[in-house]
A and B are shown apart, each in its own frame.
Chain A
Amino acid sequence: MRGKSRSSRRRFLAAASGLAVSAALPSTALAQLARTKPNAMPEVIGRLVGTAPINKGKVKLGVPPLVENGHLVPVSVNVESPMTATDHVQAIHVFTDKNPLPEVISFYLGPRAGRANIATRARLADTETVVAIAQMSDGSFWSDSVHVIVTTAACLEEL
């Protein structure tokens, strides 16, 4: 079981590396700002997708690249899908890699939803990567991710 989730995590990271700025750029400045420890996002995603590959595309995650604070960050996910009985989005999952809990929200959809577009607000604990994964009716997974800078407050010390 453990080995299985590891291999899927590696695949996830490989899939995400093209998208996730934080993974590709271990910059000094970013590292300094990364005050919150990474959470178990890869494992949680691994549990969701099992051994299936995560494909890039079809999903458009809308999150601002930087936000003044992490209170209520607008998050939208649009997935390309005809939303028919045979070809539709079954679920949209949103994750973050630094929040205390990696799972932000899951939406479950059916063909009657008509469109696979969702919008909500999420709290972000820190400058981190937000990942959206769409689960299709054919069992495939599609993903998009955005690295969001949460600007630091004025007189806030390292906590």
Chain B
Amino acid sequence: MKTAIQNPSRRSFIIGSAAVGSGLALGLNIPFRARTAHAAGAAPEVNAWVVIRPDDTVVIRIARTEMGQGTLTGLAQMVAEELECDWTKVTTEYPTPGQSIARKRVWGDFSTGGSRGIRESHEYVRRGGATARTMLIQAAADEWNVPAAECSAANSVITHAASGRKTTFGKVAEAAAKITPPKDVPLKDPKTWKLIGKPVKRLDTLNKLTGKQIYGADFKMPGMLNATIKECPVFGGKVKSFDAAKVTGMKGVKKVVQVGDSAVAVVADTWWQAKTALDALPIVWDEGANAKVSSASIAEMLKEGLDAEQAFVGNDAGNAKAAIAGAAKKIEAVYAYPFLNHAPMEPMNATARYTPDKCEVWCGTQNGEAAFAATLTASGLPADKCEVYKLMLGGAFGRRGAFHDFVRQAVLIAKQMPGIPVKLLWTREEDMTQGRYHPVTQCKLTGAFDASNNLTGLHMRISGQSILTAVRPEALQKGMDPATFQGVARSGEFEFGYGGIPNLLIDHAMRNTHVPPGFWRGVNINQNAIYIECFMDELAHAAGQDPLDFRRKLMAKNPKHLAVLNAVAAKAGWGTPAPKGVFRGLAQMKAFNSFVAACAEISVSGGNKVKVHRIVCATDPGYAVNPAQIERQIAGSFVYGLSAVFNQECTVKNGRIEQDNFDNYNSMHIAQMPKVESIIMPSGGFWGGVGEPTICVAAPAVLNAFFAATGKRIRSFPLKNHGITLV
């Protein structure tokens, strides 16, 4: 599979595309208009999504980013399903954002996040495949002088049944590319899908196994220099001065440059030379107003928000405050969730080459268009003089999506050395301390019972940081950050699952910090799932009821939420005795439009050593494009979710993040990984995400099992702060 981005083929694609771009000046009122011409010698582009070579190889263009989550394969499956091509001959290719803009955004949105890669592009990529198939069949029919309706396509072969004539996609692709694309080609009934829903192997595995896969950090160009950078460790601070003369004589050092008003970079022959010089470079920072902020001062600010008068109401029903005031029994708990770093294995990096006529960037990004936008802004050049070439990402988890600070920096450095390609690669320490952190929050939950132990009211007060206020203030709704309520929202793709609570109030006292927040895999469902699902267990315990039965009573209006919960309970054997010393815990949530639930089985030794034996997980994502990939995403999300709850937090001291490497910000290890059993139960009629939703149910399921095992409720994280370790 040629999913690796190799420079020669990439370059030839760009040249090929550039040569024909002018043929597209006419309005593209549907995104799948074929080009009528193509570069001599290049394979015909049937439409924007599909290129077919004479040897029947099908190149499927994928705009969304592959970063390990399998989107590349899933999207290709969807195009190929409608195209009726031979799956064994499918390869993929990334179009560039510059080409997309030049072609009036023919590939749509490049943004890859929010578990949207498949669910928000399935319709138009399938239509792209169907349109291309129709054109290929038409080309064959024209050649045979028969009605297209009498011809059919399967496995890259077109057949005219009446005459027994056959031809292949490769033979008619040239002619098909000249046909005016038909409009509104109908899509297959999901019931007839042959390739969608199959656990086909990923298209990008081989290159990763053989080491052929090029990641951003691996990228090399002739004459390339290497740079590394240090930004003011206190967020919002600036460079006051630096003494370049102290390091300019060091081996390999080419230049010491200021980048923007807050960072300094060293450019050298090798990366290690750049790092050594940067470490030796005296830099004086103007740390600004935030130099005294600490985790304790942030916690104090959040604590105040727990009881503050004013708060944004994200979800309510009845009158929760009155129900609590008149309760026969009241249960209250306060939880806290820390800042987290994305900590992808590959630190931020980008390679840039700038001349006054052209600025090019090579990088891993979750959003090629956003990287392109950052390139435009930093270079000051117009769109037709910029280009971004996407490289494989060594992890991202949200860090490479909404923020292209590393692209801006690379361009600003390259701009100071015109004509020379410069690869900027952050140190691990820079990556850890210049993150866009999972926001910090606290939560106070109050439950009200009547005299018969019925839950009559629930107040969930979230206090803490809003991501959108910092990242997309234009998306706030009269000041409220709707994303804060992910998983506990009134309706929609994050709908709260306990519609049976008669009096409900979920509100947010926004308390922002100077630490820049970002979208961390799962975003706000991580803490919201812990808050609500652990508290549900607390309420069940207070009412003397089984946690599953207690939840079921409140979920009558939420049948799909309930279905996944019931599925994990049944498979895990809830209600039947667990093996000796093993305890179970449950959690459920709707997130990114999928319904997910988990049942964890753990044992605890010595009161603090936790072994997670098994997690049974169910997901209803509407449609399951590649079940094998979904299973791996579930397991992978548990690695991320369990690592956080057991080990990870970013603390603030003197305005800066303290954790700077994996020795103090560790991931779980392979021997600690539980067995994960997945139930994939797509119920159809809607499209839900896969990469993120399940991340949030692992932690509360384990925490609830920990209570079952020990009788202890842990309400602040990570668990290592309580002496609890994962074994």
Contact = CB atoms under 8 A, between A and B. Distances in A.
Contacts of B110: 151
Nearest to B371: A68
Interface in A69-116: 69-71, 74, 99
Contact of A29 (B124, B376, B483, B492): B124
Interface residues of B, number: 57
A155 B401 contact: yes
Nearest to B592: A157
B483 A149 contact: no
A115 to B, nearest CB: 21
A21 interface: yes
Contacts of B471: 69, 153
Main secondary structure of the interface of B (DSSP, over half): loop
A28 interface: yes
B617 to A, nearest CB: 20
A41 to B, nearest CB: 16
Given A66-B101, A155-B114, A29 B109 contact: yes
B352 to A, nearest CB: 16
Contact of B114 (A65, A149, A157): A157
B370 to A, nearest CB: 4
Interface in B512-551: 518-523
B85 interface: no
A139 B23 CA distance: 41
Contacts of B519: 153-156
B366 interface: yes
Contacts of A151: 109-111, 367, 369-370, 373
Interface string A144-159: 0000010111111111
Contact of A64 (B28, B104, B111, B376): B376
Interface string A14-58: 000000010011111110110000000000000000000000000
B111 A154 contact: yes
Contact of B483 (A25, A26, A157): A157
B105 interface: yes
Contacts of A70: 472, 474
A125 interface: yes
B474 A68 contact: no
Report, as a range, how many residues of chain A touch the other chain.
20 to 34
Given A29-B124, A66-B369, A156 B105 contact: no
A154 B27 contact: no
B111 A67 contact: no
A126 B366 contact: no
Contacts of A123: 473-474
A124 interface: yes
A98 B520 CA distance: 28
A157 B31 contact: no
A158 B28 CA distance: 25
A99 B473 CA distance: 12
Interface string B204-223: 00000000000000000000
B474 A125 contact: yes
Contacts of B109: 29, 32-33, 151-152
Contacts, number: 137
B40 interface: no
Given A27-B31, A153-B111, A158-B493, A124 B483 contact: no
Interface string B471-500: 111110100001100100000111000000
Contact of A154 (B30, B113, B493): B113
B29 interface: yes
Contacts of B306: none
B31 A66 contact: no
Contacts of A152: 109, 111, 113, 367
Given A25-B28, A66-B373, A68-B370, A157 B494 contact: yes
B483 A156 contact: yes
B254 interface: no
Residue in A27, A156, A158 with the greatest tally of chain B CB atoms within 10 Å: A156
A152 B377 CA distance: 17
- Of A68, A74, A124, most buried by chain B (CB within 10 Å of CB) is A68
B27 A66 contact: no
A123 B475 CA distance: 11
A65 B105 CA distance: 11
Interface in B99-143: 101, 104-116, 120, 124
Nearest to A24: B27
A151 B106 CA distance: 15
Contact of B31 (A29, A65, A158): A29
Contacts of A125: 474-475
Contacts of B27: 24-25
Given A67-B377, A149-B105, A151-B370, A159 B494 contact: no
B410 to A, nearest CB: 14
Given A67-B373, A69-B402, A155 B113 contact: yes
Nearest to A126: B474
28 contacts: A21-B104, A25-B27, A25-B28, A25-B104, A27-B28, A27-B30, A27-B105, A29-B31, A32-B108, A33-B108, A66-B101, A67-B376, A68-B370, A68-B374, A68-B377, A99-B474, A126-B474, A149-B369, A149-B373, A153-B113, A154-B402, A154-B518, A155-B401, A155-B402, A156-B472, A156-B475, A157-B486, A159-B477
Given A29-B107, A157-B114, 19 more contacts: A25-B29, A32-B120, A64-B373, A66-B383, A68-B373, A69-B402, A69-B471, A151-B370, A154-B111, A154-B113, A154-B518, A154-B519, A155-B519, A156-B468, A156-B472, A157-B493, A157-B494, A157-B592, A159-B482
Interface of A: 21, 24-30, 32-33, 64-71, 74, 99, 123-126, 149, 151-159
Which 3 interchain pairs have the tightest Cβ spacing?
A154-B401, A154-B113, A29-B108
